[in-house]
């Protein structure tokens, strides 16, 4: 597998660590499929990396995610790796046109929906699904299963922590449902990366990312290399499905609730119900 070019779909590939990982994997000879929100940025990254397969979708609109899934299904009969990398932290609470809180929709419901619509392709390929999570799940989350959107007691940090916890729970739910059918699903923290992250919020993290402290953060190149390591088929056998990893690829601790099988199952059930999904 390691010597055969793989089809690798990367969301959030127009900037930051996604752009770096896409460029490096394409340079290694893999078939990289880039997904981004901004046409200008996405196509600019693709041109520079020599990547021909580019798709656009704004995850604040779930109809665009459904369209994206249809395009990907039509064009790529095999998907070896799906990187659910798109996300961000936002001021709010903000209700999207779909009726969900923006932070939760962009970071969790959109990739949950995309993965659902691609699940047969992923199972046929015995694929790897990689969710870009965050240490914020441990630092800031305060999960309320009756308020997955974090409408109440909203702060940008708490909403982001809850949304990134959702990505960890999602990878563990995929493991519960599909590991026996050959699917591997993991989540990881890419490091505290010096990007445009949090630039449009009131979160205290804005001052970490956009002041003199920025010099102490991981560069986008380093963060992108971390993401590339997880996506690279050469390392596929290094990953244990359902595991949360640190930037160096070591199994890591997150909030204890992420290991609660009842919570994993209930979060999966409620996320599916929000979107009207039935999994095969």
DSSP letters along 111-127, please?
A: HHHHHHHHHHHHHHTT-
- Mean of per-residue pLDDT scores for the chain: 91
Measured between alpha carbons, how far is 214 from 194 in angstroms, rounded to an integer?
A: 6
Up-side HSE of residue 201: CA atoms within 13 Å toward CB? Answer: 26
Paired tokens of 108: 């969790």
* Residue 1: per-residue pLDDT: 46
113-138 average pLDDT score = 97
Q: What residues act catalytically?
A: 160
* Residue 222: per-residue pLDDT: 85
What count of other Cβ atoms lies within 10 Å of the Cβ of residue 176?
Answer: 15
* Residue 37: per-residue pLDDT: 97
Measured between alpha carbons, how far is 55 from 71 in angstroms, rounded to an integer?
A: 8
- pLDDT tens-digit series, residues 60-100: 999 999 999 999 999 999 999 999 999 999 999 999 999 99
* Residue 200: per-residue pLDDT: 52
Alpha helices by DSSP H, listed for the chain, are 16-27, 39-49, 62-75, 102-104, 110-124, 136-139, 156-178, 205-209, 220-231, 261-275
Q: Is the distance from CB of 89 to CB of 160 less than 8 angstroms? A: yes
- pLDDT tens-digit series, residues 169-182: 999 999 999 999 99
* Residue 243: per-residue pLDDT: 98
Bridge partner residues of 36 (DSSP): 56
Alpha helices by DSSP H, listed for 50-155, are 62-75, 102-104, 110-124, 136-139
* Residue 133: per-residue pLDDT: 96
Report percent pLDDT > 70 for the chain.
90
Domain spans, the chain: 7-192+224-275
Measured between alpha carbons, how far is 279 from 122 in angstroms, rounded to an integer?
A: 13
* Residue 193: per-residue pLDDT: 56
* Residue 202: per-residue pLDDT: 53
Which top CATH class is 7-192+224-275? alpha beta
Measured between alpha carbons, how far is 113 from 71 in angstroms, rounded to an integer?
A: 14
pLDDT at residue 127 tops 70? yes
Strand order from edge to edge, sheet including 128-132: 53-56, 31-36, 7-10, 81-84, 128-132, 184-188, 244-245
Task: Band the pLDDT of 218: cuts 50, 70, 90.
Answer: low
Measured between alpha carbons, how far is 137 from 168 in angstroms, rounded to an integer?
A: 8
Measured between alpha carbons, how far is 273 from 280 in angstroms, rounded to an integer?
A: 14
Can you tell me whether residue 84 is helix, strand or coil? strand
* Residue 217: per-residue pLDDT: 59
- pLDDT tens-digit series, residues 224-255: 999 999 999 999 999 999 999 999 999 999 99
pLDDT at residue 203 tops 70? no
* Residue 223: per-residue pLDDT: 81
111-137 average pLDDT score = 97
Q: pTM for the complete prediction?
A: 0.91
198-219 average pLDDT score = 49
């Amino acid at each position: 597998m390691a010597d055969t070019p793989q089809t690798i779909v990367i969301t959030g590939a127009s900037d930051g660590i996604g752009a770096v990982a896409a460029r490096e994997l394409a340079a290694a000879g893999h078939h990289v499929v880039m997904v981004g929100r901004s046409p200008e940025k996405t196509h600019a990254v693709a041109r520079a990396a020599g990547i021909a397969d580019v798709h656009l979708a704004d995850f604040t609109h779930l109809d665009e995610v459904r369209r994206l899934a249809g395009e990907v299904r039509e064009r790529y009969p095999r998907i070896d790796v799906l990187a659910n990398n798109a996300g961000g932290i936002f001021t709010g609470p903000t209700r999207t046109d779909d009726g969900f809180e923006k932070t939760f929709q962009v970071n969790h419901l959109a990739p949950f929906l995309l993965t659902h619509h691609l699940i047969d392709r992923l199972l046929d390929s015995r694929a790897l699904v990689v969710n870009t999570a965050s240490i914020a799940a441990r630092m800031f989350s305060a999960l309320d299963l009756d308020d997955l959107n974090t409408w109440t007691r909203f702060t940008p940090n708490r909403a982001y922590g809850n949304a990134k916890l959702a990505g960890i729970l999602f990878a563990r739910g995929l493991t519960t449902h599909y590991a026996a059918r050959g699917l591997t699903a993991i989540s990881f923290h890419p490091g505290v990366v010096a990007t445009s992250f949090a630039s449009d919020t009131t979160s205290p993290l804005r001052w970490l990312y956009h002041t003199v402290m920025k010099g102490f953060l991981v560069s986008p190149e380093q963060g992108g290399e971390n993401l590339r390591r997880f996506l690279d088929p050469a390392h596929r056998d290094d990953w244990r499905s359902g595991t949360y990893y640190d930037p160096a690829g070591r199994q890591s601790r997150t909030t204890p609730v992420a290991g609660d099988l009842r919570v994993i199952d209930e979060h999966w059930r409620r996320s599916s119900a929000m979107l009207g999904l039935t999994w095969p």
